[in-house]
Amino acid sequence: MSALLELQSVETDIGGSRILRGVSLEVNSGEVVALMGRNGVGKTTTLRSITGLRPIRSGSITLAGQRIDRMTPDARARAGIGYVPQGRDIFPHLTIEENLHVGLVVHGRRGTEARIMLDRVFALFPVLKEMLSRKGGVLSGGQQQQLAIGRALLTNPKLLILDEPTEGIQPSIIDQIGDTLKKLKTSNISEKDATAQSRQEAAEIMGAVTTLKKEGALAILLVEQYVDFCREVADRFYAMDRGAVTISGDIASLTDEVVKVHLQV
Ligand SMILES: Nc1ncnc2c1ncn2[C@@H]1O[C@H](COP(=O)(O)OP(=O)(O)OP(=O)(O)O)[C@@H](O)[C@H]1O
Ligand SMILES: [Mg+2]
């Protein structure tokens, strides 16, 4: 069986400099794959090469066996790629409801189909339903990320690409995440506690990724710097350095030693 997404020896230049030096990787249906690496090694450039925001210089990219590397970003989105870029890509002056409707309108979904899509997003991120009339700009970092992921899911992608979904949530909190997930199951955390809220958001993002994985309907390619988050949600990993993949494998092979050699600053 062939991979859902396959990159073969992809090279990408930015402003005359070679940024990707032959990136090869695969994502299979139903899989969560983490793309890791230190700052500036080319993770975002890899994602932008896949989505078409950066033209590639050589190599090939296929989605479900079809070459996509010469297609426009729009055509790649229609072919089944959902993308949540690094940072907060939502409309701050529109409400949650309006932000989601923009997603539906852009992709021409209405009526029953739109409602089914929205219900799926609300099931994954209940907080969005509770805060429908809240403006995007006043949401916390984690809530904005949930909105951005929710909006990308409205296109019903085959492959969901997330660039640092935990960005904007305090690092110390993501580090405690494994612990927190257990605690969330066994105790009630006060909502007034801002730290607890942040923890809950990180847990919700992770929970959503896990739920999507269980549904098995889509694959996820995730850029993420937090090792524990990756260990929790990913099936496999690739680590990059200076524009190329240096090591990859099952997530179980992402040992502390590998982290030390390939990922730590
Ligand atoms: N618009 C740009 N103009 C010039 N150089 C760029 C541009 N975008 C990225 N680069 C360079 O390309 C390299 C890879 O950048 P990229 O954003 O892909 O890294 P990254 O692994 O996503 O890093 P981070 O973890 O900081 O997000 C970096 O050296 C960066 O300086
Ligand atoms: Mg990046």
Please say whether the beta carbons of 23 and 35 come within 8 A: no
Do the strands 244-250 and 236-241 form a parallel or antiparallel pair, or are they unpaired? antiparallel
Give the global pTM: 0.86
Contacts of 181 (CB under 8 A, 6+ apart): 203, 206, 207, 232
Please give the pLDDT value at position 255: 95
Res 179: pLDDT? 41
193 Cα to the center of ligand 2, angstroms: 30
Residues 6+ apart with CB under 8 A from 96: 128, 131, 132, 133, 134, 136, 139, 147
Residue from 20, 45, 240 to probe ligand 1 pocket by mutation (most atoms less than 8 Å from CB): 45
pLDDT by residue, tens only, the chain of 265 residues: 579 999 999 999 999 999 999 999 999 988 889 999 999 999 999 999 999 999 999 999 999 999 999 999 999 999 999 999 987 688 999 999 999 998 888 777 778 888 888 998 898 888 899 999 999 999 888 788 888 888 988 888 899 999 988 876 666 555 544 343 333 333 333 334 556 666 677 777 777 777 777 766 688 899 988 888 888 888 999 999 999 999 999 999 999 999 999 998 7
* 15 Cβ closer than 6 Å to some ligand 1 atom: yes
Distance 239 CA to ligand 2 centre (A): 13
CA distance 69 to 236: 24
Element (H, E) at 137: none
